[in-house]
Structure formats: structure tokens, C-alpha cells
Structure 1
Amino acid sequence: MNIHDWWTEGDRAPLGFSGSEHQIFCRSLGSGPSMTLLHGFPSSSHDWAGIAAPLSADHALLMPDLLGFGASDKPVGHTYSIHEQADLVEALWDREGITETTLVTHDYADTVAQELLARRAVGGLAVDIVELYLLNGGIYPDLHRPEPIQVALLDPEQGPSISAAITPELTAQALQPTFAPGFDSTGAAQDAWIANSRDHVNLHELITYITDRQVHERRWVEALESTDVPLTFVWGMLDPISGAHMIERVHERIPHATVIELTEVGHWPAIEAPDAVVAAVTSAQ
């Protein structure tokens, strides 16, 4: 399913969180126990298109575009934060009447999940996270290896001009090394460009999540390592950003977690190996 059809089959609706109201896109699919899927940077909920149908056979899926991404609002000059995205998720759960859910996250959203775990640890989360499945992300900020364009986007002087100059070709060029060698990333890059360019390109504003991770490293690492929520890491080992080097520490620090190593997969397991991701998630249900 292409991204335009994905958006057509979802809904944009007002959602209040963090003291403001924004139009947030969400795709719902299936019935059964709740499962919430949260996407990464720089894409959208369309990343889940390849796994949504099989997962929806046994679950009620909730797949939003986070604020600033995809078909959700992109407020101009906004200061984005992981805390705000966690507020969005909580508000969405409240609106949908969800009291417990399985959570599946990737990349940027792994950090959102870590913030939700931190809130849960002090009794500040109304929803019970039944299980958490994490796909490749910078869960240990000191091990994160950002791509050169991400570093450039973080620069307050260069960032805005680089963001404004990004084209479909540059998007494809930047994303290609993050996929496994030999994987045809053309379609994924095109979808990422469509998601990023809708309304206006704001990558220089969204990229501050990298700084967020550094500032809140202790809070988020402790939340992940100490949680009693069952954890499963579904990891593309060829990811140059958060691959084998990241999962090595998971083995050291969270030995009780389940780790599924996808040896021929890069940064995007749900796109590169959808069947393996579905198998990983459903095998434990």
C-alpha cells in the first residue's frame, strides 16, 4: 500500500496534549487486544504497512504519525521533544479508551517508549504496557552513530538551510546506507520524502531528539534496564547507526530480555524483513 492510500484509510483528528491541540493522523486496523505501533525518524506510520495486515488478524492496531511527522500537524518553529511525543501517545490512549496495550517501537519511538517506561516506574502511567518490542534505535545514546546529514541538521546555523534544500534524490542518498547492502530502498526513500515534504520540511526541528537523548540519558537508560515489562529486541544487525554494537550492550545490561538478531537486516526491520518482525511479535503472544 502506498503512503497516499495509507493516509486515505486513516483519520486526522484534533488531540489535546502538552497544553495544546493538534491534528494528529492515526491509522486503526483489526480487532482484539490493543497493540500500539510507533514509528521512527524521518518517516511515518506508513513504515508499518508491511506488517499491519497480519498483525491485525489478532490485534486492534493503533498507528499514529507523531507530531511533526507524516500527515500529523507540523507547527512552524515548534520546539519538539520526546516528552511531548509521550504526552501525545498517552492522550491518544485516553481518547481511544485503552487501558492496556502491547507496544511496538522503532528508532525515534524507542526513546518515546523509554520515557513512557520512566513514567510507569513512578506510577505516572495510566495504561499498562503488557509487552514492549523495540526495533533498531538509539537506546544507549553514547553508542548512537548518527549519519553525517543528521549531524549537519543538528547545527543551528546549517540545519534550517539543509532541511530546506533536501530533495527526493538527497533523501534517497541519505537513507540508502542505513539499509542492508543489496536492499532496494527506492520505495522507502520515496515514502519518507513524501512524508517529510508534506506541508513543509522540518527535519532540523525534529532532529533535536538526539540532544534530548543525551540530556535525559540516565532517566531513559535506567527506565529500560530496570523495567519489569517484558522486553523483546528485534534487531537488524547490519544497521550502521544502532546495530550490532547497540545490541551487544543489551546482552550485557538486560540479560533477561529476549533478543532476536536479524543478521541480514539494516536499520529498518519492518520494511526490510516484515515477515521476520511479524513472526517475532506474534510468537510471544
Structure 2
Amino acid sequence: MNRLPLVRHGRIDIDGVEVHYRESVPDRADAPVLLLLHGFPTASHQFRRLIDALGADHRLIAPDYPGFGQTTAPDDFTYTFDRLADIVEGFVDRLDLHRFAMYLFDFGAPVGLRLAERRPESITGLVVQNGNAYADGLSEAARSFIALAPEQTGAEGQIRDLLTLEGTRFQYETGAPDPSLIAPESWMLDQHYLDLPGRKEAQVALAFDYKSNVDRYDGWQAWLRKHRPTTLVVWGTGDPFFTEAGARAYLRDLPEAELHLLEAGHFTLETHLDVIAPLIGDFMERLR
């Protein structure tokens, strides 16, 4: 039987935001660190099985952003991707993380790449799983969604349609060759958090701010070319938002990156943990 790690759950106050996080306690005190940055509309619980699979050998740390999961923020918190990155940066400082790799998924890509720009000396490597940083990777549906603006009639309604139980389940199951492999509590738990007071308003604000990420794609690509982080790209090709072209685009700036394309949807970890966990385990050993 594989060793299972201890997994601790904690809370840290960062500028008035009470950040909830989970982390594994590996066997070795000097185990390499992987910061797990979740996507929309989920939270750190999306990584619970990955933490069980790898946490005995590596220190895996997964925070919930403001507006997600069990993290709580003041009523006047401004929901932008810059502010999410501010909170994650403060979290990294409070945990005294000096050198770490990052797992970038969905929203985790713009949050993590902002952090990488701010402190490139800290980043030991990147695991990119359906975390887009290239215009190539935006599907037509994604482009239309990102183009929505607050002053546009019906725009907020289109965003709120995605925040329903049907919209959340759609994100999990679309592109998955066998939806029976997806635990229904995954999308049901996400919906529970989405339905908390103020959460939908937070997600609407972030949706309108998403175009700020596209505006920074050129800068992030330049960062990748300059720093050449050791990178593993794992991508579900059935993702309705971020296409296979977005995965291949990383090789333009990181020609030595390792690329794995899987027949899966957006939430690839839900259906392909048995493939992804060994890839990340080998990747982390190389970083060691």
C-alpha cells in the first residue's frame, strides 16, 4: 500500500482575508514544495486526491483564493486578478516559502504567472494543466465570454448563467470521455460555495476582469522565454474553454517543456489522476 500523508488544514490572515489552505506533511523536512493554484469555480478541495497521492514525498500546499472555498474576505474586498495574486503572495510570505514549483490550473495560471513575475527567483518549475497563457488557447466560447463588459446589455446575466448548478456541472463533464469517473460531490461542493452570500458577485467581478489576463499574455510569454522554468504541460483536449493549441503554444517559448495531451475535459484531474500523479511525481524528483 502506498504511504498516505498527513494533511493539515489551516487559516492565515492576509490583509484582512482569512485564507484557508490545506497542505501535506511529507516524510522529509527538505521535501520539494509544490504550490497548487486552483481554478474556477472550485477551490483547494480539487487537489485532495493529488495531495493524498504525492504528499508523502512532497510538500503540497493549496490555498483557497478570496471568493472561493472556505476563504473569507471583507465585504469591501476588490475582486480582481491582481488582488488574488496579492493575497497569494502574502500567503507565500507567511508560510516562508522561498523556493517552490507551481501547479497552474485555469484561474491558477493568471494568478501564478503574476506571482512568477514578481519573484522569479522563487520559482523552481511549473506544472501547467489547462492553464492558458496564449491567445491560441482561447476557444470561440472563451473569447465571447471574455469580451463581455459591464455596460453591455445582458452581459452579467450570461455570466450568472455559468454560476448555476447546470453551469458548474457542464464545466466538469464537457469533454470527459467517461463522466462516470467524475465524483458528483466535486461539482456539488463547488456549487455550495458559489451559492454563499456575495460569492456570485465576486465571480461576476472576476469574469469582467478576465480580459486583464489576456492583456498580459505577451509579458508572461516573455517571462517564460527569459527564465526558462522546467515545465510539465498536461492538458485535457476536450476542454470547451482552453483548447489544445494553448497547450502546444507553451513549446514556442519553452521548447524543452514536457507535453502530455489527454483525452479529457477541463477538470482533467478528476478523470486522469492515475496518469497525472506519476508525471508530477517524476517531475518533482527531477526538480529535487
- Calculate the TM-score normalised by the size of structure 1: 0.82
> CA–CA distance in 2 between the matches of 1:149 and 1:175?
19
Given that 2:232 and 2:258 are in contact with CA atoms closer than 8 Å, whether structure 1 keeps it comes out as yes
Given that 2:137 and 2:244 are in contact with CA atoms closer than 8 Å, whether structure 1 keeps it comes out as no
AA aligned opposite 1:27:
R
Structure 1 residues 174, 60: closer, same or farther in 2, change over 3 A?
A: closer
The aligned runs of 1:65-214 (5 Å cut-off) are 65-76=64-75, 78-121=77-120, 128-145=122-139, 147=141, 151=145, 154-156=148-150, 157-161=153-157, 166-173=163-170, 175-177=172-174, 179-184=175-180, 185=182, 186-200=184-198, 201=200, 202-214=202-214
Given that 1:74 and 1:199 are in contact with CA atoms closer than 8 Å, whether structure 2 keeps it comes out as no
The aligned runs of 1:213-228 (5 Å cut-off) are 213-228=213-228
1:240 CA drift (Å): 2.6
Match of 1:22 in 2: 17
- Does the alignment pair 1:38 with 2:41? no
Structure 1 residues 11, 146: closer, same or farther in 2, change over 3 A?
A: farther
Structure 2 gaps, min length 5: 1-6
> CA–CA distance in 1 between the matches of 2:210 and 2:32?
33
> CA–CA distance in 1 between the matches of 2:187 and 2:219?
33
- SS of 1:208 mapped into structure 2: helix
> CA–CA distance in 1 between the matches of 2:170 and 2:109?
24
Structure 1 residues 146, 209: closer, same or farther in 2, change over 3 A?
A: farther
Task: String of CA shifts for 1:166-197, please: whole Å, max 9, x gaps.
Answer: 432343245432x4233234333212212222
- SS of 1:70 mapped into structure 2: coil
> CA–CA distance in 2 between the matches of 1:95 and 1:232?
27
1:84 CA drift (Å): 2.1
> CA–CA distance in 2 between the matches of 1:235 and 1:265?
8
1:241 CA drift (Å): 1.8
How many percent of aligned residue pairs carry the same amino acid?
24
Structure 1 gaps, min length 5: 1-7
1:268 CA drift (Å): 1.5
> CA–CA distance in 1 between the matches of 2:234 and 2:215?
26
Match of 2:52 in 1: 53
Task: String of CA shifts for 1:39-62, please: whole Å, max 9, x gaps.
Answer: 011111111012111211112221
Match of 2:4 in 1: none
Structure 1 residues 58, 270: closer, same or farther in 2, change over 3 A?
A: same
> CA–CA distance in 1 between the matches of 2:146 and 2:83?
24
1:161 CA drift (Å): 4.5
